């Protein structure tokens, strides 16, 4: 391993440790109370090293948000060529998995608590998570409308109807502390939501 490769490997490891410590602090203490010095201590790096990777707490929080929602790809292009039911099922299951396996629920709880004092944080997370997912779902619906597999309809409204049915079973209960996980019933619930949607908008 060359010196440059070694340095890059060490730098990447330190960045990962900082992100892990930041997640723990933001989720446990909230954005306002989380301290950069404590994050550096838990990551076993100097404060100078922390600021070398992340110039401010806002930047670090943004990186935590990005990390939480970049682990899986749920973009509509992944589902081209599939029957509409299969594509919707895979996309919605992907959204559920992303929410539960990438700290999505803990992140939302931490941000909701900060809305009165730091509304820009809530906007950042809403844009990166919910609005991005809505855009992906709507783009997929538009593709199937164009292909004639769905009736022409307001796909923005359809997106919220479809995702709202899924959120009611998984996201909202989890945010309020219920022991919810994407267990074996996830596919059954998602299929039922798609049944209702296709009954109204299926071509």
Reported pTM:
0.77
- Domain 69-201 - what CATH class? mainly alpha
Is the sign of the CA dihedral 113, 118, 120, 121 positive or negative?
negative
> pLDDT 10s per residue in the chain (203 long)?
676 776 787 788 999 999 999 999 998 888 888 999 999 999 999 999 999 999 999 899 888 888 887 755 566 666 667 899 999 998 888 888 877 877 778 888 888 888 888 888 788 888 888 888 899 899 999 999 999 999 999 999 999 999 999 888 888 888 887 666 666 688 899 999 999 999 999 98
CATH superfamily of 3-60: Homeodomain-like (1.10.10.60)
Give me the phi and psi of 150, to 5 degrees please.
-130, 150
- The C-alpha atoms of residue 108 and residue 187 are separated, in whole angstroms, by 24
Q: What are the residue ranges spanned by the domains of the chain?
A: 3-60, 69-201
């Amino acid at each position: 391993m060359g010196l440059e490769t070694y340095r890059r490997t060490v730098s990447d490891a330190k960045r990962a440790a900082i992100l892990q410590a930041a997640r723990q602090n933001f989720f446990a203490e909230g954005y306002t109370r989380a301290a950069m010095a404590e994050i550096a201590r838990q990551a076993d790096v100097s404060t100078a090293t922390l600021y070398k990777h992340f110039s401010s707490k806002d930047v670090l929080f943004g990186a935590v948000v990005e990390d939480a929602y970049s682990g899986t790809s749920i973009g509509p292009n992944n589902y081209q060529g599939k029957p509409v039911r299969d594509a919707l099922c895979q996309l919605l299951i992907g959204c559920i998995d992303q929410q539960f396996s990438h700290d999505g629920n803990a992140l939302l709880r931490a941000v909701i608590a900060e809305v009165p004092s730091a509304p820009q944080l809530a906007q950042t997370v809403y844009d990166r998570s919910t609005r991005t997912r809505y855009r992906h779902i709507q783009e997929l619906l538009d593709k199937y409308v164009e292909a004639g597999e769905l009736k022409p309809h307001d796909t923005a409204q359809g997106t919220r109807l479809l995702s709202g049915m899924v959120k009611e079973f998984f996201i909202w209960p989890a945010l309020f502390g219920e022991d919810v996980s994407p267990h074996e019933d996830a596919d059954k619930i998602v299929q039922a939501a798609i049944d209702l949607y296709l009954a109204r908008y299926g071509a």
